[in-house]
Each structure stands twice: as C-alpha cells, then as structure tokens.
Chain A
Amino acid sequence: DVKVTQSSRYLVKRTGEKVFLECVQDMDHENMFWYRQDPGLGLRLIYFSYDVKMKEKGDIPEGYSVSREKKERFSLILESASTNQTSMYLCASSLLRPQQETQYFGPGTRLLVL
C-alpha cells in the first residue's frame, strides 16, 4: 500500500513565524503535491513537483514556497505565517502525470496561526 506521511497532524504557530510542513512518500512516486482545504472550498493546489529539485506553482502559491531535495520528500514552507493561512494542509503523491494516475493523500496537517 502507498503510504504518504505528514510530519504533524496539528500545529499551532504565531503570526510571522516560519513554518515547515514535511511530507514523505514511500512508493517512489515522481509527483508530489501540496493542497490546502478550507470549509466550503474544494481542495486548492498550492505547489507541485514532478521531479527532484523541480517545482511548479499551483493555483494559490502566494505566501508559500516548497523544497524537494529528495524524491520521497516534499516540504511546504510558510515564510511568514499569517492568520489567513490557518487551514488543513494535504500532501499527495502519484505516479506519472496526474491526470493518468490516482493521487494518494497523506492524513493532513491542521495548522492554526494565531
């Protein structure tokens, strides 16, 4: 079974702090994604990566950056956390191109920014 793990289930940070969310997958998937999920809104893509050291912006990249130094690990960085970044963050991975392959999701990190 594919396993996607995220470093924290719950996180509380203060405005202005730098926040790191880590995601690791164990199935040698090429593609990795970061989404945020808010009530009443569908999942929204923040960033994705098709290969090591490669990244592309999704629909809402502002205020975020990412890092993919190893194939299995994809990190989401909030350079200076703000209260509007309070959300559920979901990491996903897949083989090949996303439209051909199912994305497998991690359990999510619920981030509260005070």
Chain B
Amino acid sequence: KNQVEQSPQSLIILEGKNCTLQCNYTVSPFSNLRWYKQDTGRGPVSLTIMTFSENTKSNGRYTATLDADTKQSSLHITASQLSDSASYICVVSETGTASKLTFGTGTRLQVTL
C-alpha cells in the first residue's frame, strides 16, 4: 500500500530560527512530490513540486529536497516568521494512475516570539 509518512507530527520554534520537515514515501511508480502549506481553517496551498529528476526546489524561504533513491524529501524553512505557522503536507503522485495522490498527515508548525 502506498504511504507517505511525515515527521515530526508537530514542531514549535522561535521566530527567526530555521527548521526542517521530513517526508518518507513508498509510492511507486513515482511521478512527483509536492509540499503544501495549510493555514488553520483554510485549504492547502502549493509551495513546491518536484519530479524524479529534480533534487532541490526553492520558493522564497522554503527549500524542498528530494532523494528519489531513498524515497525521502525534506522541506527547509529559513528565518521563520510567525506567518509560517501552519500545517505542511507532503503529497506524492503515481505515474500513469488517474487521480492517485497520496497525502501525508502533515507536520503542524508553530512559530513563536
């Protein structure tokens, strides 16, 4: 069964600090991996998308990495801000399968003063 595991489940950091969120997956055959940010009470918003041949992708202070060999991805947030407080969801899609996305359960990040 395809699975996406994220760690940690939750994280509290001080404003200005960096953090890294992890995503391990067993989805096969792999098509791409996305990171979404979901603010409380809102729908998820896409941050990055990476295909098999890409091993890093940045979006402002967010940098995602992908190791397709070990089936691991990370999302690094630099110089965190209060507005980074949200859940971050890793989503992996399969090649050739209609509409088959596997969602992780997310990491809830809280940035405090």
Contact = CB atoms under 8 A, between A and B. Distances in A.
Contacts of A40: 105
Contacts of A92: 43
B32 A99 contact: yes
Give the contact-size bracket for chain B. Answer: 20 to 34
B105 A58 contact: no
B93 A99 contact: yes
Contacts of B34: 102
A17 B113 CA distance: 45
A107 B44 CA distance: 8
B104 A42 contact: yes
B32 to A, nearest CB: 7
B4 A42 contact: yes
Contacts of B98: 50, 56, 97-98
Contacts of B101: 45, 98-99, 103
A98 B101 CA distance: 8
A102 B46 CA distance: 7
Interface string B34-72: 100000011111100100000000000000000000000
Given A42-B4, A108-B43, 12 more contacts: A42-B104, A44-B103, A50-B98, A92-B43, A98-B93, A98-B99, A99-B99, A100-B31, A105-B43, A105-B44, A106-B43, A108-B42
Interface of B: 4, 31-32, 34, 41-46, 49, 89, 93-106
